[in-house]
Amino acid sequence: MVYINKLISQMKYIALSVVLIAGIIAAGLLMRPGKTQAQSPLQAKGKLTNTDKTMELATFGNGCFWCTEAVFQELEGVEKVVSGYMGGHVKNPTYKQVCTGTTGHAEVLQITYNPAKISYDELLEVFWATHDPTTLNRQGNDVGPQYRSIVFFHNEQQKQRAEKYKKELDASGAFPSPIVTFIEPLTEFYPAEDYHQGYFERNGGEPYCSYVIRPKVDKFRKVFKDKLKPEYSQK
């Protein structure tokens, strides 16, 4: 229950900024610009493999991968974060196709991490603290099944940890509504187009990054300061 108790206090700290950001987006003052950008597909498609036996993989979908990628990249013990698509029925989907909400895919992150430095439970803690898991197929103004809250487990242990965490979190009353996060087995992972990777780091000055992603990242850094890589803990 230690992570649950920590998460309740973290959610109270983050809640106000999330509400304010959601209000800005809902008012139509700021829209996600990605749909108008040129596509630049990665050459390597398909399931990401992990050749380093000291590393493990975690896959989460918790809304716009531009925002969530920026958060997980800063965690100590996380080696790599790849934005992509999972859970659908169309092979090699493009961003444009996924945005229609008809391919069945969710925008996800596939995270390569060192379990000696950060545990799967800690990744789950960050996952549930940095999005609203009570809104079905929606995060703020991003609406559609591609934005659903979902954990794709890589093994039985991950499944059990995610289900246990979800159950305890729901029972704790940390959220005012029931958690609707899906917990499903891993399916084919398709890396997103090149311009989605490292989006916040490369486009930090754009309006969407400045007004939507940066406030979320700033709050995350304050709440999870003890879990950050050294280069981010000083920011």
Please tell me the distance from the alpha carbon of residue 131 to that of residue 165, in angstroms, as a whole number.
15
Which is it for strands 78-86 and 190-191: parallel, antiparallel or unpaired? antiparallel
Our answer to whether residue 64 is catalytic in this structure is yes
DSSP string, 2-49: HHHHHHHHHHHHHHHHHHHHHHHHHTTS----GGGSPP---S--SPPP
Token pair, residue 182, equals 């899906």
Cα of first residue to Cα of last residue in the chain, in angstroms, is 30
Q: Across-strand partners of 86?
A: 106
Q: In this structure, what are the phi and psi dihedrals at residue 98, rounded to the nearest 5 degrees?
A: -65, -35
* Residue 132 identity: D
CB atoms within 10 A of CB 45: 14
* E runs forming strands in 105-225: 106-113, 138-139, 142-143, 149-153, 182-185, 190-191
Please tell me the distance from the alpha carbon of residue 114 to that of residue 51, in angstroms, as a whole number.
13
Residues annotated as part of the active site: 64
